[in-house]
A and B are shown apart, each in its own frame.
Chain A
Amino acid sequence: LVFTEEDKYGLYSNLLFKYFLAEGVICGHDLFVASAKEHPDTILKELPAPLLDDTHQNELGGEATAVKSEDFPDSMKIAWRYQNLPKMETSPTTSTKFGHYYDVSKTMSPELLQSIKWHSFYLPEELSLQPKMKMCNMNSAYARLLQSIQRIIYQEGFDGSDPQKKQKNILRIGIQSLGSMLWGDDICSSDTPENIHSLTKFLYVLRALLRKSLSACIITVPAHLVQNKAIMERVTNLSDMVVGLESFIGSERETNPLYKDYHGLVHVHQIPRLNGLICDVSDTKDLAFRLKRKLFTIERLHLPPDLSDTVSRTSKQDLAESAKLLSSGCGAMAIGKKHLDF
C-alpha cells in the first residue's frame, strides 16, 4: 500500500499517480481507478506514453560514462575519510532494469489501453447505490469504494477464489485525493472532524483486501490540508510505504539558489518491510525531483559546493536541522560555524 502525500497544488502527485497506472498498462495488469474529482476515463486518457527503450538508454548511458571518465587527479589529503565513500551518482544505475520510462509530453495511445482490462469508480456516479456493508461510523463514500474494490477482486478472481482461472494477474488500484472534501470527509476542513476514524478504518480494510489478493495500491492524499496531525501519524503506521512530495511552487525555496535545479523534494517516510525483518534502505535520504520537458526524474539532492566564506546562506540553518535526519554521505554539506578560530 503506497501512500503519497500530495504536494500543494497536486501537480506532481498526479504525475506519480499516472506513472503508476501507466506502468500497469505496460505490464499488462488490470487497473482500478477511483476518483471523486475527475472521471477515471479522463485520467486514463492522460497517461504518459512509454519511452522506447533505445533512445532513453542512450541518454542515460551518455551521462553515466561522462561521470565515470572524470578522474580525481589528487587524492584527498584533509578529507581522507571521504575517499572511501563511493562516488556519488545522481541517477540510479541503469544496469538493473526495473520498470519502464515514460515521456511526459506525449499521452499513451488508446490501443495500449485497450489491451488491458480496467475498472473505474467515479464517486458522483456511484452515489445513488446503497452500501451493503455492515460497517458503522464510516463515511459512506469510503464504504462504497471498499465494496466496489472487494466486488472486483472477487469477481475477477484476484483473491484466488476461482481455481479455474489459470492466468494470474495483478490488480493495480489507484485512488486519487482520498480524504479530501470531495469524498465527503471533513478531516481537511476541521480540527475535530466528526468521523475521525473513517480514513484509518478504510485503510485497514483496504490493506486486508490487498493482503488477501494479488493487488497493489497507490493512494494520494492532500496531507497538507489535514488539520489533525494525529490522523497522519496513524495513517503512516497503517501503510506499507509512505512518500511525501513537497513542491517548491509558491514557497520561499523556489528562489533559493540551492534548489534551483529542482522542482521539489521527495520525503520517504516509510519503506515497506514485507515478508522480512529488514527493508532495502538506500544510502541517502534526501531526494529531489524535477520535471524536465519529457522526463520526471527523482534524484539525490546535490548541493553546489559552498565556495565563498563571506556570503552567508540563510537556509543553512534549516538545512542543518533537516540534516539531523540525513545520512552523512554527502560531502558537500558543511554543518556548523562558518569561521574556525584558532
Chain B
Amino acid sequence: VRFAPSLQSCSLWSIVFSSLQGVSLTAAKERGQLVFLEGLKSCLDLLFGEEEEPSGQPSPLQFLSESSSDLKSLFDFVRTSLTPTEDDSWKGVVLLVDDLSVLLSLGATPVAVLDFIHYCRVLVCSQLKGNVVVLAHGDEDSEDEESEVVVNSLCHHSDLILWVEGLATGFCKDVHGQIKIIKRVSLELTGEQDHVQIYQYKIQDKNVTFFAPGLSAAVL
C-alpha cells in the first residue's frame, strides 16, 4: 500500500485508520507494507534544508523549486517505492493520493497533474495489477477552471467514482451529506449505462454511518 497525502500529517491518518478499521498504520509502516509520503514535511525539507542532499536523490516535490512544472520527480518516487524487492510478497498494490487539487495549488499545470496520474495508472494498474485511489476537490459551480479540467478528466478515466457532496437543501445536523457511487460499466463497452447508487451519510467521532436517502435518524 502506498500513501501520498499532501495536506494532513501522518498522525491524523493513523488516528483515522485505527478508528475506522482497527488497522494500525505504524505497524504497517514498520512491516514495509506502507510507504507514506508526507507532503508537508518534505516540502519543508526541500525549502529550508541543507544545500547538499545526502542521498543524492532529488526530492519528490522538486517541482516546487524548479521552474519546470512537471511532476516527474514525484512519479519517480512513486515508482521506486513500488518496485518490489526480492523478499516482498505484495499481493495487491494500492496507491492512494490525498488531494490532487493541492498539486494544482502548488503550481503544477493541469496537464502535468493528469500526466502524473496517467503514468501512475500505467504503472500500478497495468504493470502491477493494483489500484489507484485519488482524491480531488471539485465543485459544480466553482470558478476554478483548472480544477474542473482535472476532475472531468479523472471522471472519464475512472472505473469507480465516489462523488461526495453536501445536501442540496442545506445544512442538516443528522445528515452531513450524500455520496453517489457510480460504477462506470459503460467503459466496458457492453452497452450498459453506469450504475449509480446514492447514499447519505453522517460523520461521527470515529465512524461514518451510511443510509439510504430519507432514512436518517432525524426522520425515523
- Chain A residues proximal to chain B, CB less than 8 Å: 133-137, 146-147, 150, 197, 200-201, 203-205, 207-209, 211-212, 228-230, 233-234, 237-238, 274-278, 281, 283, 285, 323-327
Q: Is the CB of A208 within 8 A of B173?
A: no
B140 at the interface (CB under 8 A from A): no
| Complex Cα spacing A102 to B105, Å | 38
Is A278 touching B205 in the complex (CB atoms < 8 A)?
Answer: yes
Name the 5 nearest CB pairs between A and B, nearest first. Answer: A230-B144, A208-B40, A200-B105, A197-B107, A229-B143
Residues 180 to 220 of chain B near chain A (Cβ within 8 Å): 203-208
The proximity string for B residues 168-186 relative to A, scoring 1 for CB distances below 8 Å and 0 otherwise, is 0111110000000000000
- Whether B48 lies near A150 (C-beta < 8 A) is yes
Name 20 interchain pairs, CB-CB below 8 A, sorted by A. Answer: A134-B65, A136-B64, A197-B106, A200-B106, A204-B105, A211-B40, A212-B40, A230-B144, A230-B146, A233-B139, A233-B143, A234-B104, A275-B11, A275-B12, A276-B205, A281-B173, A325-B170, A326-B171, A327-B171, A327-B172
Do the beta carbons of B9 and A211 come within 8 Å of each other? yes
- B129 contacts the other chain (CB 8 A): no
The smallest beta-carbon distance between B39 and chain A, in angstroms, is 8
Footprint of A on B, CB under 8 Å? 7, 9, 11-12, 15-16, 19, 40-41, 43-44, 46-48, 64-67, 99, 101-102, 104-107, 137, 139, 142-147, 169-173, 203-208
* B144 x A233 contact (CB < 8 A): yes
B205 touches A201 (CB 8 A): no
Q: What residues of chain B lie closer than 8 Å to A238, measured between beta carbons?
A: 7, 102, 105
Given that A134-B65, A197-B106, A278-B204 are contacting pairs, would A237 and B137 also be in contact in the complex, using a CB cutoff of 8 Å? yes
CA distance A133 to B64 in the complex (A): 11
Cβ of A281 to closest chain B Cβ, rounded Å: 7
> Does A205 lie within 8 Å of B144, measured CB to CB?
no
* B10 → A minimal CB distance (Å): 10
Min CB gap A301→B, angstroms: 15
Give the complex CA separation of A110 and B2 in angstroms.
Answer: 54
In chain B, what residue has the closest Cβ to A228? B143
Collect the chain A residues with CB atoms within 8 Å of residue B67's CB.
Answer: 136-137
Q: Which residues of B contact A230 (CB under 8 A)?
A: 142-147
> Which residue of A is nearest B202, CB measured?
A278
Distance in angstroms between the alpha carbons of A249 and B91 in the assembled complex? 64
**Does B139 contact A205, Cβ atoms closer than 8 Å?**
no
Q: When chains A and B are docked, how far (Å) is the Cα of A276 from the Cα of B106? A: 25
Q: Are the CB atoms of B44 and A205 closer together than 8 Å?
A: yes
A201 touches B64 (CB 8 A): yes
Chain B residues whose CB sits within 8 angstroms of the CB of A325 once the complex forms: 170-171
Contacts of B7 in A (CB 8 A): 238
Output the least CB separation between A124 and chain B (Å). Answer: 24
Contact B101 A135 (CB under 8 A): no
Verify A133–B40 contact, CB threshold 8 A: no
Q: Give Cα A146 to B44, complex, Å.
A: 11
Q: Is A277's CB under 8 angstroms from B206's CB? A: yes
Nearest to A233 among chain B residues (CB) is: B144
Give Cα A204–Cα B99 distance, bound, in whole angstroms. 13
Q: Is the CB of B65 within 8 A of A135?
A: yes
| Contact residues in A for B143 (Cβ distance below 8 Å) | 228-230, 233
Q: Pick the contact of A323 from B15, B102, B146, B170 — CB < 8 Å?
A: B170
Given known contacts A204-B43, A233-B139, A133 and B48 CB-to-CB distance under 8 angstroms: yes
The answer to whether A134 touches B170, judged by C-beta atoms less than 8 angstroms apart, is no
Closest residue on chain A to residue B14 by CB atoms: A275
Closest to A153 in B: B48
B residues in contact with A197, CB < 8 Å: 105-107
Instruction: Give the shortest distance, in Å, between A336 (CB) and chain B (any CB).
Output: 14
Residue of A nearest to B16 (CB): A277
Judging by beta carbons under 8 Å apart, are A274 and B12 in contact?
Answer: yes
> Are B139 and A283 in contact, with the CB atoms below 8 A?
no
What separation, in Å, do the CA atoms of A134 and B208 have in the docked complex?
42
Known: A200-B105, A204-B106, A233-B143. 16 other contacts (CB 8 A): A134-B46, A136-B67, A147-B48, A150-B48, A201-B105, A204-B43, A205-B43, A208-B40, A212-B40, A228-B143, A229-B143, A233-B142, A234-B101, A234-B104, A237-B99, A276-B205
Which chain B residue has the least Cβ–Cβ distance from A198? B107
Q: How far is the CA of A303 from the CA of B107 in the complex (A)?
A: 45
Q: Which residue in chain A gives the minimum CB-CB distance to B107?
A: A197
Asked if B144 and A234 make an inter-chain contact with CB atoms under 8 angstroms apart, the answer reads yes
> Within the complex, which residue of B19, B65, B104, B171 is in contact with A285, where a contact is CB–CB below 8 Å?
B171
* A324→B169 contact, CB < 8 A: yes
Bound complex: CA of A147 vs CA of B44, how far in Å? 11
The complex places the Cα of A29 from the Cα of B200 at a distance, in Å, of 43
